[in-house]
Amino acid sequence: MNTSSRLSPHFSLKEFIASATADRLKIDNSLPDALRGNATHTCEQLEKVRKQLGSNPIIITSGWRNPTLNKAVGGSASSDHATARAVDIRCPKFGTARSVARALVASNIEFDQLILESPTLPSAWVHIGFRKGANRRQVLTKFAGDKTYYVGIK
């Protein structure tokens, strides 16, 4: 698989499948060909996110996760990461994860689910997922160490 290929103008396959956990545990996190379309759609939508955030660089901290990797990181079995339809992101040049989440919620970007994750930690991030139609625009917050998902940005 050519991991240097682009999924969109600013996002490569290499960064979409990158995982420190996969590297550490020697898990092959290659993207199946059948999910390439989902990954491309996700990154095309991420271009809209980038533009909304002042065209600042976005860091994908987690994109595609195969079932072994998803289990290793404690991901939900029904996670959109497992179908290449979600990413976890940070945009330090724009601001905190909370400010990123607020900007995206206030935008007209059609996302399926946005979760502000661990907002009280310096390593906080935003999970955002995209579907090809029927996006719910569901907005949640999840605090580190708490299994509850709270509606809205908290």
Regions of the chain short of the pLDDT cut 50: none
Q: Domains plus CATH for the chain?
A: 6-151 (3.30.1380.10)
Spatial distance between the Cα atoms of 126 and 43, rounded to a whole number of angstroms:
15
Spatial distance between the Cα atoms of 104 and 109, rounded to a whole number of angstroms:
7
Residue 2: per-residue pLDDT: 56
Nearest residue to 100 (alpha-carbon basis) of 57, 135, 138: 57
Spatial distance between the Cα atoms of 85 and 142, rounded to a whole number of angstroms:
19
Per DSSP (E only), the strands in 1-154 are: 6-8, 11-12, 59-62, 86-90, 113-117, 125-129, 138-142, 149-151
Residue type, 18: A
Segment (H or E) for 96? none
Spatial distance between the Cα atoms of 125 and 6, rounded to a whole number of angstroms:
23
Q: What is the pTM of this model?
A: 0.94
Number of C-alpha atoms within 13 angstroms, CB side, residue 6?
Answer: 7
Residue 77: per-residue pLDDT: 87
